[in-house]
Structure 1
């Protein structure tokens, strides 16, 4: 190749090369692609569910109560004749939004708190971490149920309780990454030249701790959906007539022997969504982990 030809050869920008490599690595993992496809499908159903439901999800029709799956009612009907297919679709808005909101709140608060703890050090770091250790010493589900019961049964309170319980996981992860990043030469140089703590956290620490936090958040969405469904199942989450998957399974358990479809389809929706997010999060972890090099 001559010098003139080399000059005319297009060179990919570093950002485009990274994106191309990421897509190539994703194609090497069938499980990650499967999880991403499931996740994308559930998100699309969540967004377009108001236009996809064939019936009003809260419309009562006692003449059609507890009908099995048919051409008219694909998932059957419940004890008051409501179409379960429509309720499962609309329920995706409650369950998936709950999982996303929990991750945004707990991840945002926990990441900032962990970065501050690592940057500040001293008594502030010790105080924050001892509080986190106390919260982690209590089983997550027990603490979540206690907080949800204290706040009162509703989907918003259930989301708030789950978010509070998940904060320590992000605090510990962000603090551990911060302790590593603050030892880098350019961070030490920034502190030497008088950079404020806000500048260190926003410009240096958070940017370097973001990949593991993103992986943790992607894995936590499935966990948050399962915990929200659990609280709905025991009556501490969404209340009637709200269509929420966990509450629907709880209502269907009384009919599980004869009307199997009542709790089967909401349960499958919970399982499929959690598996999709977990598979994608697991693949994302391998992709962003330099030790694995993106290989499964």
Structure 2
């Protein structure tokens, strides 16, 4: 006699994987936590829209972002030019859309570079310990002793004004934050039983870092990276504003705000729309990063 309830097909008990129910419950809990945080959903929506515009902006722009038309210079927003035009008649709506490729891509590139180098260096420092650990961390402390923006401007000025050099300068300044985070997580894992057992069986330090340490420290690093994207976009815009970032005729939000400050009293739209793009994008990534941090927090998941 079947132990299942009447009317239930006994064959289904053999074909349903045993981990489907826990996995489905985990997804339901994640969805429940997201529904409890409307700001996280708002940040996710903004982030997806910005990434969509960044990818498809070449096909969405109504005008050539670099086309000069002196007969239409400094025109107010209208049906022909939704965001108005700049001092040489270029369509600001097209330039703001195109600028998303520069500004957002710069933020993503900075986080990928700084996160990769900093995470590996922090895990290596925590696993090695001793003199190597002390030397790496003292170098990081020296970098952290200088205000981030000041050090970024100094490096960008030394490398030369360009968007690539600005990205490189920001990435170098952000590396210590990932090093300290990865090292702290590694020190907590180093004395775990499975880590000691792996080392006892002859595993190399590189194997410990890549196969055991990085996989366990990845969640806090992902949260840090999601929060850093907005910060990196703001820093790239700041360097562009003071002339150390993207150069003309590249459409970059910070440079556009800088060019528009000369006309801010009469042609307010010149700086307003690129500035709003920076504000909305940075806010969206920060909201999503905060929500992701709460989502990955065991205390939040347990509530």
Q: Same fold (TM over 0.5)?
A: yes
CA distance in 1, matches of 2:88, 2:24: 55
Query: Could you tell me which residue of structure 2 aligns to residue 62 of structure 1?
Result: 70
1:25–1:294 Cα contact (<8 Å) kept: no
Return closer, same or farther for 1:90/1:277 CA change in 2, 3 Å cut-off. same
Alignment of 1:124 onto 2:132: yes
Gaps of 5+ in 1: none
Gaps of 5+ in 2: none
Aligned pair partner of 2:258 in 224, 245, 250? 250
- Structure ID, larger Rg: 2
Query: Could you tell me which residue of structure 2 aligns to residue 3 of structure 1?
Result: 3
Aligned pair partner of 1:220 in 219, 223, 228? 228
Give me the TM-score of the superposition, normalised by structure 2: 0.94
Query: Could you tell me which residue of structure 2 aligns to residue 156 of structure 1?
Result: 164
Q: When the two structures are aligned, how many residues end up with a matched partner? A: 294
Query: Could you tell me which residue of structure 1 aligns to residue 150 of structure 2?
Result: 142
**Considering only aligned residues, what root-mean-square deviation do their CA atoms show, in Å?**
1.4
Give me the TM-score of the superposition, normalised by structure 1: 0.96
The SS at the match of 1:4 is coil
Query: Could you tell me which residue of structure 1 aligns to residue 272 of structure 2?
Result: 264
CA distance in 2, matches of 1:18, 1:119: 32
CA distance in 2, matches of 1:123, 1:186: 25
Query: Could you tell me which residue of structure 1 aligns to residue 175 of structure 2?
Result: 167
Query: Could you tell me which residue of structure 1 aligns to residue 87 of structure 2?
Result: 79
CA distance in 2, matches of 1:294, 1:76: 50
Alignment of 1:285 onto 2:293: yes
1:29–1:283 Cα contact (<8 Å) kept: yes
CA distance in 2, matches of 1:35, 1:24: 16
Using the TM superposition, give the Cα deviation of residue 183 of structure 1 relative to its aligned residue in structure 2, in angstroms.
1.5
Using the TM superposition, give the Cα deviation of residue 293 of structure 1 relative to its aligned residue in structure 2, in angstroms.
2.3
Using the TM superposition, give the Cα deviation of residue 16 of structure 1 relative to its aligned residue in structure 2, in angstroms.
4.3
1:287–1:294 Cα contact (<8 Å) kept: no
Query: Could you tell me which residue of structure 1 aligns to residue 35 of structure 2?
Result: 27
Using the TM superposition, give the Cα deviation of residue 185 of structure 1 relative to its aligned residue in structure 2, in angstroms.
1.0
CA distance in 1, matches of 2:299, 2:30: 15
Aligned pair partner of 2:248 in 234, 240, 255? 240
